[in-house]
Amino acid sequence: MSYHYHTNFSLKPQNPCKIIPTKNLHNSILISSYSLSQSKVHKTKILCSSSSTKKAQENNIFSSPNKELIRSSNSYSVEFKTKEGCKLGIAKYPDFVYDAEGGFGSGIGKHDLNGNILVEFDVGKLYIPPLTSGTTKFLGLPLPPFLRIDIVPLMFKGSIDEESGKVDLEFKAKFWFSIGTIYKAPPLLVSTILTSEESQGKLRKGRGQRMEKDGNCKLVGVATVEPIDDLFMNTFLGLPTECLAVMNATISV
């Protein structure tokens, strides 16, 4: 065992040296102070645990306010409504003309450092009407009564520039094709950016319209549709292929 020799100065007769095992000082800080009182010199030892000092430093770090949490308190509601005059096209087939009147969603928005509105919609409450004989026409004729395409949103969020009217919303959804009760294909996964600008792929392209003062806008998005586990749908649609979504909407901020 190694030892640390510490001399204690005093005018009183006493042992000249005190032996302190160094292992007891392994994780400690020795702070010495000298004081002169009544012709006596005293040396005071204060032993402080280094682990306690570290913990105090950590408490100081976490006591600072979180700026992101403070900014989130400035969030507000944003509403999204779909309108008539929408379109859905896939592969090289003519577009479905689609009346999406009645679609509705709500979300939370807040301004970023550039002044844009960052918005995220609650997909659990986002409703987009299905493509049916009552809402959709193909080549000028209503869809057959037994054909139906349901849209189940998975993600809907992005940014809105109030000053310029530019809108970019990331949209992801499952499209379920069914024919009555006799056939229901696995869902087609569609992921795109619905934008007020131009969206272009290899087969499809579209141009949107920026949001006006009343919130009206036209959003377009081209997406690649990958094959699914269904030979009929893969062959009929020629998957993989592209699809185009054209959505007339009103955004209330």
pTM of the model: 0.70
Q: How far apart are CA 98 and CA 136, in angstroms?
A: 4
Degrees to nearest 5, angle at CA 125 with 160 and 242: 65
pLDDT tens-place string over residues 4-47: 444 444 444 444 444 444 444 444 434 344 343 444 444 444 34
pLDDT tens-place string over residues 113-127: 888 999 999 999 999
Is the CB of residue 187 less than 8 Å from the CB of residue 137?
A: no
Tokens (6 digits) for 108: 């939370």
Which helix (H) or strand (E) covers residue 98, if one does?
strand 96-98
Q: How far apart are CA 219 and CA 242, in angstroms?
A: 17
Among the listed residues 85, 124, 121, 82, the one whose alpha carbon sits nearest the alpha carbon of residue 104: 82
pLDDT tens-place string over residues 50-86: 444 444 443 433 333 333 323 355 788 999 999 999 9
pLDDT tens-place string over residues 174-219: 999 999 999 999 999 999 999 999 999 999 999 999 999 999 999 9
Burial 7-23 (b: 16+ CB within 10 A, else e): eeeeeeeeeeeeeeeee
17 or 246, greater pLDDT: 246
